Amino acid sequence: MSDRPNILLIIIDQFRADLLDGGLARTADLKNLAALADQSCMFRRHYSVTTPCGPSRVSLFTGQYAMNHRAIRNGTPLRHDTPNLAREMREAGYDPLLFGYTDVAQDPRVLPADDPRLTGYEELLPGFTEVVRQRQETDDTAWRDLLRSKGYDVPDGMDLYIPDGDSIDSPARYKAEDSDTAFITDRFLDHMSSQAPGWFATLNYIRPHPPLVAPAPYNRMYDPDDAPLPARPEDNALHPFVAAVQAARPASGLVKGFPDLKATTETVNRLRSIYLGLAAEVDHHVGRVVEWLKTSGRWEDTILVVTADHGEMLGDYGLWGKGTFHDAAFHVPLLIRVPGRRPGRIEAMTESIDVAPTILDLAGRQAPESMNGISLRTQIETLLGGKSVTFSEHDFADPVNPTTLQQILGLSAPLSNFAVLRTDTHRLVHFAGPLPQIAFDMTGAGESRDISAMPDQGAICLDLSRQMLCHRMAHPESTFARTMVIDGGVKKGPA
C-alpha cells in the first residue's frame, strides 16, 4: 500500500448487522459483502450511537455522541464549527468527495434567513465536495432527470416509490439498471475512474431504507415464506414506550400507496422479503465497486470501510423503523479492509463514533479532541481489544410540532429521549422522563423479557445505572478538555 492510500467509505442506509452475521444472513444471499467480510476486519458487535438518519450520520462524521453534538433529530442544526471527518481529511490533503447525502441541518446563525439551505435537513456536511447529489426527500433531480431521459413517467415527490401493481411486492416503476442504487454506483464509477491516486470518497446507498419498493427481480427475489420470522416478546405486557411506538409507527409507514396496510403475518413476511431484496441489490452494486477497484489496479492501494448509519426493526417485537431501543435499531456492520493486514473478526464492542478517528489515523492524522470515539487501528492490526460498554441515544421529540409519541405519552420535548447502555451480558434503557427503566439479560431471554422489575435483579439494574452515569460523565463535550490558558500561553495536556 502506498504512503498516501485511497480511502473509500461506503455507508448503507438502514442496514442491519444480521444481514451479514446473524439471523437474516441465513436467508439473505449477499455474496459480495460476505466475500468482503472474509477479506476484512469484521467488527461483529458494532453499534450506532444514535438514530435516526441525520443524528446517526452526524455522530459517524464528527466522532461525537449525540449528547455532545446535539444535532439530535432530523432537522436539528449542527453547530457550524464542529470538527468532522471531511474537514479533517481536507486538512490532511485529501479532497473529500461525496456521492449521495449526509442529512445535516445547517447552523442558522451563519446563514441568511432566506438561504435555501435552511429549508430542510438533507443538507451537506461542511468539508465535503458534493460530486453527486441524491437527497431522497428534497433533491434527487439528477436521478429523476435520467429516468425521464429514458422515457419513464416520473411522478412528483415520493409517489415515485409507489409499487407498479396492486401488491406491496409489485416491482418499482423503474428497471433495476435504472434504480437509485444503480444510478449512484454508475456515477461513482464514472467519476472515480479518472481520479489520481490518493483520494478519499464517501459513497452512500439510500437502500434498503424505506419506502420498501424494489425493482424486478429484487422485489420477489426472496419467498416471503422463507423470510426469518420476527422476534417476539415472551409476554404481552408492553412497556408504555413500546405500546406507543406500535401505535405511532405502523407497518404501513414503510411503503407508499397502501395507507390501510395491516401487519398480518403475510404482510410482515412480504415486507421482510422486500427488505432482503433491496439489501441484495445493494450487495450487487458493492460487488461492482470492488471489482472496479481490483481490475483498475487500485485494490491494493485502497482502504475500504463499509458500515451503516443505523438498523431497522423490520417487525421484530411488533416494531418498525429505527426509533426504539432494541439492538436491531442500532446494531450495524463494520468492515475495514486495510491492504496487507490479515482479516479476522473482532468480538469486542465498538461504536459508530470510532469510524472517523480510525479513518483519520489510517490517513496519518490525529483525531481532534472533540471526538469521543477511538481509533480502531490497534484492533485492525492485532484483531484484539474493544470496548467494555457501548452507549446509544434517541430523541423522539419535535419542539415545533410535537410528535405522535410525545402526544401519546404526554411528554415535553426535553423529556422525550432515552439512552441505552450495553455490556457483554446486559442492556439498560433509561428514559429522561417518568417512563420506567428497561433491562435485558442477554445471556437469558434477551430482549424478549424485561428484568427491571424482578426483585432479584435490583442489584444488577443499579450497577447498570451506575455504569451509564459514569460513562456519560467520562464523555462530555471535550473540544477544550485538554486545553489550558496559563502563564506562558495555551497548553494542551496528553490525550
Alpha-carbon 281 to chain mean position: 18
Instruction: Name the nearest CA neighbour of 8 among 188, 159, 165.
Output: 188
Question: What local confidence, expressed as pLDDT, does residue 336 receive?
Answer: 99
- Written as nine digits, the cell of 307 is 458500515
* Dist. CA 332–CA 350, nearest whole Å: 10
Helix axes 53-62, 355-362, angle to 10 degrees: 40
Handedness of CA 176, 179, 181, 183 (dihedral sign): positive
pLDDT per residue rounded down to tens, the chain (495 residues): 778 999 999 999 999 999 999 999 999 999 999 999 999 999 999 999 999 999 999 999 999 999 999 999 999 999 999 999 999 999 999 999 999 999 999 999 999 999 999 999 999 999 999 999 998 888 889 999 999 999 999 999 999 999 999 999 999 999 999 999 999 999 999 999 999 999 999 999 999 999 999 999 999 999 999 988 999 988 767 999 999 999 999 999 999 999 999 999 999 999 999 999 999 999 999 999 999 999 999 999 999 999 999 999 999 999 999 999 999 999 999 999 999 999 999 999 999 999 999 999 999 999 999 999 999 999 999 999 989 999 999 999 999 999 999 999 999 999 999 999 999 999 999 999 999 999 999 999 999 999 999 999 999 999 999 999 999 999 999 999 999 999 999 999 987
Strand, coil or helix: 416: coil
* Dist. CA 148–CA 36, nearest whole Å: 35
* Dist. CA 36–CA 44, nearest whole Å: 14
Task: Tell me the CA end-to-end span of the chain in Å, nearest whole number.
Answer: 29
* Dist. CA 146–CA 66, nearest whole Å: 37
* Dist. CA 260–CA 381, nearest whole Å: 52
Question: What local confidence, expressed as pLDDT, does residue 139 receive?
Answer: 84
- Written as nine digits, the cell of 465 is 445505572
Question: What local confidence, expressed as pLDDT, does residue 6 receive?
Answer: 99
Handedness of CA 282, 288, 289, 294 (dihedral sign): positive
Instruction: Name the nearest CA neighbour of 460 among 433, 427, 488.
Output: 427
Question: What local confidence, expressed as pLDDT, does residue 137 receive?
Answer: 84
Alpha-carbon 292 to chain mean position: 25
Q: Which residues pair with 346 in a beta bridge?
A: 43
Q: Which residues pair with 484 in a beta bridge?
A: 491
Residue with cell 423529556: 415
Domain assignments of the chain as residue spans, ordered by start: 6-394
* Dist. CA 296–CA 192, nearest whole Å: 11
Contact by Cβ (8 Å): 320, 253? yes
Asked if 53 is an active-site residue, the reply is yes
Handedness of CA 338, 61, 37, 12 (dihedral sign): negative
CATH architecture of the domain formed by 6-394: 3-Layer(aba) Sandwich (3.40)
Question: What local confidence, expressed as pLDDT, does residue 135 receive?
Answer: 87
The kind and range of the H/E element at 276 are: helix 265-295
Question: What local confidence, expressed as pLDDT, does residue 237 receive?
Answer: 78
What CA dihedral angle connects 409, 414, 417 and 420, to 10 degrees?
Answer: -140
- Written as nine digits, the cell of 79 is 453547530
